[in-house]
A and B are shown apart, each in its own frame.
Chain A
């Protein structure tokens, strides 16, 4: 008993007091900034293993980007990754960063369905489905629940049953073998419900975009309420995206 109290005492204060302004350590690759410097654009486009960069004007699609940093290494004068982790958006187009853009990635309040903030502002229960995910996004979503990020303090939690959920969180590129179970899970969630895509694989297929083993038709059928880019997304990216959505 006293041992346990001692352990609790030794932990000190672990939680991040303000998840909106916390600084991430080190050289985290978050929102990129593209300068107006002139570079060989075809080489720049070609430097990306995932075809996330397009030319004229130079744009980088965070929904396709794996944040490997290859472009910034080859063209440091053109592309720089900042440590800004707030890169989730509800518009697919908001994930496309154009050269010269300096502003943050934002939730567009006009596109948030009215019932989402009204019903879920104080309590949002989510059912996560890994549809071909590589377990990296799952690790980070679990980390969002740990004592440091402590997403539960905002009333946001993952639940076991879709019947208890207000929305579905999808990771992975949606494999053919998971397309059926994903649909069943979605159908089991009572209305109104939200759809959240977490990670580059889910948003665009990522490194698997050309695979013949995928069936992404689910994503054509339903409106996506939140895109959370990253490979995997940082827990703070996910938490801030969700909070901005339900407080819109």
Chain B
């Protein structure tokens, strides 16, 4: 075998991943993704081993619910054939490896910096001197937006090349939010500190990233999660999905100047986040998820409260949706705006809600289910057109689906017994991977441990890492005035990307 195959949340000895030559590594991983939507790259990263760099590529296989892991050892000064030439989904992973270690990729279309990390190979490259793509023309003009944007949002720079009002090209430069999360995972030795780091990867996706970290850690320690913990995690993920999708519908309405929609969706988010506060003391669920324990057991009283909240929420949510999506002036801004074709979505390796809106069925809840998702028999919601309308429809329907799941879960609240909790240390010389479907899409955390069980590498991948390119594709040939609503329909994470 030239690779090994694992399930989601499985730990294996690192020696079980065969080390093959780069040529074989190239053939294998290019072959996995060619002409099929069944497999895609969930993570591809490197870490130093002595003087060399070990590359590990993780390819998820959706129909068979497994992940193929392969590795190779390369020199940091070498030049490798670029996987991107045949498969664009490797584009950003190769740029990241190049930026971190200096490895060249021959044939890569633009080996540009990804996020200017503090430990980058070439410290002379600075964020103020990003090599933007330019066009020499008297008819075209460039528009630069950011890093600081008009609203209360995160920083990033967008450079548009426009023909009049029409966008021909958008290049997105990120990295402003880089705060060294992956290296802090290694240097912070307290487990309670590490889980807080995971909660701070993306503050709008706290439950998703915290569950991914907790799952990796529990898997490394060989800890079997009790059902009441799985229950809490499933509830947290679905609540987070409802809260953010509702908030994003509010923002999309605000961007097309529909104030009633903006106000009503905005206020509907409040009872959901307030329920998080009733449950765990924080409106964004910080403090709720901890490895190996259930700090805030989900009691029958909470179940009763949640059912009341959902009962009040749902009719209001349906009512405002019916009004928005039958209003011609709103529909004319949503329909056919910011469309990404199925082919483009597949080729750039888009994931999650944005991929599903273009007809690409990527959903960890059904393809690599964790927690209580196997029992929910989740069926992903997909749309065909990949425009703003489709993405908003996915959000709307996923909110209602999440409500349905929560109601179903509330019929089987586990008894709140106190489980013993996590003990033991991570297994030495091991590799663990966890995939979690957050509201944006798949979150992938990988860990590699050394001889003493210490962390050698902690790799975080937020779904936005794949999807920023989808946003750049979506706005081509659109009016520049439609950019805000297209951007909001994706609502990608800057901090999750920049780490």
Using a CB–CB distance below 8 Å, which chain A residues touch chain B?
Answer: 3-4, 6-8, 10-11, 14, 24-29, 49-50, 66-70, 73, 81, 128-143, 145-148, 158, 160-161, 172-173, 175-178, 180-181, 185, 201, 206-208, 210-214, 231-232, 234
Chain A nearest CB: distance from B465 CB in Å?
A: 16
Q: Are the C-beta atoms of A175 and B267 separated by less than 8 Å?
A: no
Bound-state CA distance A229–B185 (Å) is: 24
Chain A nearest CB: distance from B476 CB in Å?
A: 26
Q: Are the C-beta atoms of B283 and A140 separated by less than 8 Å?
A: yes
CB within 8 Å of A: which B300-341 residues: 316, 319-320, 322-323
Contacts of A73 in B (CB 8 A): 295
Q: Are the C-beta atoms of A66 and B286 separated by less than 8 Å?
A: yes
A234: nearest chain-B partner, CB-CB = B283
B194: nearest chain-A partner, CB-CB = A49
Bound-state CA distance A14–B316 (Å) is: 13
CB within 8 Å of A: which B70-125 residues: 116-119
Q: Which of B183, B190, B295 has the most CB of A within 10 A?
A: B190
Judge if B49 is at the interface, Cβ distance under 8 Å: no
Q: Are the C-beta atoms of B127 and A177 separated by less than 8 Å?
A: yes
8 nearest A-B residue pairs (beta carbon): A136-B203, A26-B278, A134-B203, A213-B180, A160-B150, A213-B118, A49-B193, A49-B192
Given A146-B267, A181-B147, A181-B155, are A133 and B177 neighbors across the interface (CB < 8 Å)?
yes
Per-position 1/0 for B285-301, Cβ under 8 A of A: 01100000001000000
Q: Are the C-beta atoms of A147 and B263 separated by less than 8 Å?
A: yes
Contacts of A134 in B (CB 8 A): 200-203, 495
A126: nearest chain-B partner, CB-CB = B152
Chain A nearest CB: distance from B178 CB in Å?
A: 5
Which of B177, B197, B206, B263 lies in contact with A207, CB distance below 8 A?
B197
Chain A nearest CB: distance from B249 CB in Å?
A: 13
Q: Are the C-beta atoms of B178 and A177 separated by less than 8 Å?
A: yes
Given A26-B281, A29-B282, A180-B128, are A135 and B118 neighbors across the interface (CB < 8 Å)?
no
Which of A7, A67, A130, A181 lies in contact with B260, CB distance below 8 A?
A7
Interface size in chain B (residues, C-beta < 8 A): 65
A15: nearest chain-B partner, CB-CB = B267
Q: Are the C-beta atoms of B152 and A128 separated by less than 8 Å?
A: yes
Q: Are the C-beta atoms of A27 and B281 separated by less than 8 Å?
A: yes
Bound-state CA distance A49–B147 (Å) is: 32
Q: Are the C-beta atoms of A136 and B204 separated by less than 8 Å?
A: yes
Judge if B270 is at the interface, Cβ distance under 8 Å: yes
Q: Which of B155, B202, B263, B498 has the most CB of A within 10 A?
A: B155
Given A25-B274, A136-B284, A232-B284, are A130 and B177 neighbors across the interface (CB < 8 Å)?
yes
Which of A11, A135, A173, A208 lies in contact with B154, CB distance below 8 A?
A135
10 additional A-B residue pairs with CB within 8 Å, beyond A66-B286, A135-B494, A181-B176: A29-B287, A135-B202, A143-B266, A145-B152, A160-B150, A175-B178, A177-B178, A207-B196, A213-B178, A231-B286
Q: Are the C-beta atoms of A67 and B152 separated by less than 8 Å?
A: no
Q: Are the C-beta atoms of B154 and A138 separated by less than 8 Å?
A: yes
Q: Are the C-beta atoms of B184 and A139 separated by less than 8 Å?
A: no
Which of B153, B193, B278 lies in contact with A138, CB distance below 8 A?
B153
Contacts of A181 in B (CB 8 A): 147-148, 155, 176
What number of A-B contacts does a CB cutoff of 8 Å give?
Answer: 193
Q: Are the C-beta atoms of B260 and A213 separated by less than 8 Å?
A: no
B191: nearest chain-A partner, CB-CB = A49
Bound-state CA distance A206–B179 (Å) is: 12
Contacts of B277 in A (CB 8 A): 24-28
Given A7-B260, A133-B495, are A175 and B204 neighbors across the interface (CB < 8 Å)?
no
B287: nearest chain-A partner, CB-CB = A68
B187: nearest chain-A partner, CB-CB = A210
Q: Are the C-beta atoms of A28 and B281 separated by less than 8 Å?
A: yes
Contacts of A129 in B (CB 8 A): 148, 155
Q: Are the C-beta atoms of B154 and A130 separated by less than 8 Å?
A: yes
Chain A nearest CB: distance from B292 CB in Å?
A: 14
Q: Are the C-beta atoms of B270 and A148 separated by less than 8 Å?
A: yes
Given A14-B267, A28-B277, A49-B190, are A67 and B282 neighbors across the interface (CB < 8 Å)?
yes
Q: Are the C-beta atoms of B320 and A68 separated by less than 8 Å?
A: no
Bound-state CA distance A50–B178 (Å) is: 20
Can you show 26 pairs from A to B with CB atoms below 8 A apart? A7-B320, A8-B260, A11-B316, A25-B278, A27-B278, A29-B281, A67-B281, A67-B287, A81-B281, A130-B153, A131-B176, A134-B200, A135-B153, A135-B495, A136-B284, A138-B152, A138-B153, A138-B154, A143-B273, A147-B267, A172-B177, A178-B147, A178-B155, A207-B193, A212-B119, A212-B183
Chain A nearest CB: distance from B289 CB in Å?
A: 11
Bound-state CA distance A208–B200 (Å) is: 9
Judge if B66 is at the interface, Cβ distance under 8 Å: no
Given A27-B280, A140-B283, A214-B179, are A158 and B260 neighbors across the interface (CB < 8 Å)?
no
Which of B175, B180, B274, B319 lies in contact with A211, CB distance below 8 A?
B180
Bound-state CA distance A232–B202 (Å) is: 12
B274: nearest chain-A partner, CB-CB = A25
Contacts of B278 in A (CB 8 A): 25-27
Chain A nearest CB: distance from B282 CB in Å?
A: 7
Bound-state CA distance A214–B498 (Å) is: 13
Bound-state CA distance A134–B202 (Å) is: 5
Chain B nearest CB: distance from A235 CB in Å?
A: 9
Per-position 1/0 for B204-235, Cβ under 8 A of A: 10100000000000000000000000000000
Q: Are the C-beta atoms of B119 and A11 separated by less than 8 Å?
A: no
Contacts of B180 in A (CB 8 A): 208, 211-214
Per-position 1/0 for B137-165, Cβ under 8 A of A: 00000000001101111110000000000
Q: Are the C-beta atoms of A4 and B493 separated by less than 8 Å?
A: no
Bound-state CA distance A2–B277 (Å) is: 36
